[in-house]
Amino acid sequence: MTALIQTIDTPDGALTILADDERRVLASGWTDDQAAILARVHPSLRPDAVAEGVTDAADAALAYYGGNLAAIDGVAVRQHGTELQRAGWAALRRITPGTPLTYSEFAVELGSPQAVRAAASICARNAPALFVPCHRVLRADGSLGGFAWGLPVKRSLLARESSA
**Greatest Cα-to-Cα distance within the chain, rounded to the nearest angstrom:** 44
Residue among 18, 25, 132, 134 flagged as catalytic: 134
Q: For residues 149 and 138, give the distance between their C-alpha atoms in angstroms, rounded to a whole number.
A: 15
Q: Can 134 be counted among the known catalytic residues?
A: yes
Q: For residues 141 and 73, give the distance between their C-alpha atoms in angstroms, rounded to a whole number.
A: 28
Which amino acids are annotated catalytic?
134
